[in-house]
Amino acid sequence: MMRTPSLYSQDDPISEALRPPSTETEAERIARLSAEADAKRVSDKIDEDLREERERLRRKKGDVKLLLLGQAESGKSTLQKQFQLMYRPNSLDEERISWKTVIYFNVVHSLKHILNTLEAWDDVLEEDDDSVSITDERARAAGIAGQPSPSTSLYSGSEVNGSPSSVDASASSVNHSHPWSKDSGANQIAALRRKLSPLISTDAQLADRLSGGIAVSGSGRGSVYVRSGWQARTIENAIGRLSGKRTNPEKKDRVSISAEIPSVQDVLILDVARMLALFESDVKELWNHPTVKGMIAKRRLKLDEWSEFFLKHIARVAAPDYIPSTDDILHARIQTMGVAEHIFDVTIHGKSVTWHLYDVGGARGQRHSWVPYFDDANAIIFVAPVSAFDQYLEEDPRVNRIDDSLQLFTQICSNALLKNVHLVLFLNKTDLLKSKLDKGLGVRKYITSFGDRNNDYETVLNYFRAHFLQVHRRNNENRRVLYTHFTSVVDTKATQRIIGNVRDSIFRGYLQSAALV
């Protein structure tokens, strides 16, 4: 009698143990075999994932790890965008539509700040009394920063004058004469405030849309905090709201932000776009109002560069068919929460190397998150905004931002984990520094150790550079070279030329450390 061949090998004890009972029906056998096949597919997939992860880690050992460090609003994220433009230009095009939300928020938040500041001064510019100052109580009521307190500078023997009205006479000697009275000017502003109130009321909604529920950064002029991948979530959430489905931000096969869905926008963004088009002339009137211009000249109203950029270009931003330009994206302001990794393949001298660029949150409360990235860093670009000599930390109005940059740079230079890391210093926002000096803003009013030096661009720039170099010399036991560049990272042509130089110097260090030269 011929025996039916068994599905299980008698030489395999596991197969023998798994032998089904003789009572197994045909349907049960088919179900069991299907389940076993599914289990094998899962097992094979896990094995493949493990192989890919091992290969990725093997390759990553030869990658370049570059950290962008510096205080908040120093220009790190703008520099990251320049790297993206240079090495992954298509990715910026894929994100372009998502930046519309950021730019709308920048415009609305700037208008809110202007109107709050005007309200704190009763919508009137006291032309004849530069000694008048806003009280902290009124500032808090208006939701704006009050007077910063004097602080001790890192500069030897210096003090910082924190008075917002402490500027050179030339900066405030503006002819504010106009054909209407103070009362009529105040009435005009009050009317504009009423007209623009529907637009201003979208500020919190736009902030929440971008942050995904993360708290807005304080009550100052800042932006919202966003985590890595916010661009994709912005589009996904819009799709979800339009389709009535909730999206999963953790889903691996994330919806691509591509040219296939350029028109995907949610109701909020469409409403803001309509209101901007409707109120464009009112926004222009507020921005060009003599009281606003006078407040800016007298330093009672302080606006960041991104605020002025978008308000000056409001006609283009308010256009019904508006799509953010690359220049718009470079100027758009949004704060990074945590650490965002950006990966680029960089080719030089015929060799392609993967670069991992880490853009970190620069606010004081986030700097602890930098340390885990120090261990195997190949290079650091430290970004210091030299135009910030008249500004103070939003987290601590007693601290001058130049002082904070110097203290932070001291910590980086003296850190034992970073003693052999390739170090590059970007003295950034030189264009804004020149603009402030050309308007007559005196450095010595904020940094008294500047003394009687000439208040011209070259003198001031070299003065700041000398102090950063001094910090490096005092904390450089290994005789590391410091590469210094004067930058304005919103200038694409100049910045990409500098990035090319930085790339070459980092690559030489990479080859030396890899014993390839």
Annotated binding site: 330-336, 428-431
Whole-angstrom distance, CA of residue 241 vs CA of residue 200: 23
Helix (H) or strand (E) holding 99: helix 99-120
Q: Which residues contact 137 (CB under 8 A, 6 or more apart)?
A: none
Buried b vs exposed e over 90-126: b needs ≥16 C-beta within 10 Å? eebebbbbbbbbbbbbbbbbbbbbbbbbbbbbebebe
Q: Which amino acid is at 315?
A: A
Going by the annotation, the residues of the binding site for GTP are 330-336, 428-431
Known binding residues for Mg(2+):
336
Judge contact between 161 and 150, C-beta under 8 A: yes
The partner residues of 345 in beta bridges, in order of sequence, read 354
Structure token digits, residue 249? 């931000």
8 Å CB contact between 419 and 482: no
Residues 6+ apart with CB under 8 A from 414: 475
Chain-centroid distance of CA 299 in Å reads 25
Work out the angle at residue 281's Cα, subtended by the Cα atoms of residues 277 and 286, and round it to the nearest 5 degrees: 120
Token code pair at residue 223: 């932006």
Spatial distance between the Cα atoms of 124 and 131, rounded to a whole number of angstroms:
15
Q: Which DSSP category does 20 fall into?
A: P
3-state SS of 223-241?
CCEECCCHHHHHHHHHHHH
d(CA 98, CA 232): 8
> Which residues lie below 8 Å from residue 114, measured CB to CB, with a gap of 6+?
286, 287, 292, 301, 303
Give the C-alpha separation, 22 to 3, whole Å.
Answer: 15
User: How many Cα atoms sit within 13 Å of 462 on the Cβ side?
Assistant: 7
Classified as helix, coil or strand, 441 is coil
Phi, psi of 351 (to 5 degrees): -110, 130
How far is residue 508's CA from residue 329's CA, in Å, rounded to a whole number? 32
Is the Cα torsion angle 122, 126, 129, 130 positive or negative in sign?
positive
Confirm if 447 and 399 have CB atoms less than 8 A apart.
Answer: no
Q: What residues contact 54, with CB distance under 8 A and at least 6 apart?
A: none
* Nearest to 342, CA basis, from 111, 147, 65, 7: 65
Q: 119: left (phi > 0), else alpha (psi -120 to 50), else beta?
A: alpha
